[in-house]
Amino acid sequence: MEYSTFSSPFDTFTIVWKETSSDLKLQRIFLSDPEQKSEEKAQGSFKRIELGTSHLITALCEKIQGFLKGEEVDFELELVDFTKCSEIQEKVLLAEFRVPRGWVSTYKRIANQIGVNNGARVVGNCLAKNPFPIIIPCHRAIKTDGNLGGYQGGIKMKRALLEMEGIEISEKGKVFTDRIYY
């Protein structure tokens, strides 16, 4: 497996992938947070990874960097490897992927959408372990009461990403919008 670390307005992010003779599949995207850099997270999570380069990864990096600067970017899932996700996590991630830019959903609404009654906590846990943040826009999931909830890149990053998408947030971290998906 290989990895590359890239700069962004939110410190760094690291992409880990596996390349075979026939294809390339993303294994993880790590975001830096206030406690730990993305490269350290990647090296701690994968025992055998080496620095690498790939034109597909460079192209993806440019899209992620644009997104993190506030540009409207559409991501595809063709490079994403869901094989290490549980069936429920894959359903959660695919439902979250469908939440459009400038909209939010709640953990409870996503749970209801995929047929998991009283599943807000399950959805929250799946998104907390989202292996593909930014591509799967888990920053768009909030609590039912309008509070932001958590985020792998830290709460400041989540807030900034939502605000770049036009979502209004109070000083106390409560989302104000009628653009609720599902």
Distance in angstroms (rounded) separating the CA atoms of residues 27 and 83: 9
Quote the crossing angle between the two packed helices 87-97 and 120-128, to the nearest 10°: 80
Buried b (16+ CB within 10 A) or exposed e, 136-173: bbbbbbbbeebebbebbbbeebbbbbbebbebebeeee
| DSSP β-bridge partners for residue 144 | none
Distance in angstroms (rounded) separating the CA atoms of residues 63 and 56: 11
**CATH topology (fold) of 84-176:** Arc Repressor Mutant, subunit A (1.10.10)
pLDDT for 22: 87
* Active site (annotated) includes residue 85: no
pLDDT for 144: 95
CA 104 to centroid of chain Cα atoms: 14
pLDDT for 44: 96
- Write out pLDDT tens, residues 131-153: 999 999 999 999 999 999 999 99
pTM of the model: 0.94
- Residues of the chain falling short of pLDDT 70: none
pLDDT for 21: 84
**Chain position carrying tokens 């993190």:** 68
List of residues 6+ apart from 110 with CB closer than 8 A = 92, 95, 96, 123, 141, 182
pLDDT for 155: 94
pLDDT for 57: 96
**Active-site annotation holder among 61, 85, 126, 138:** 138
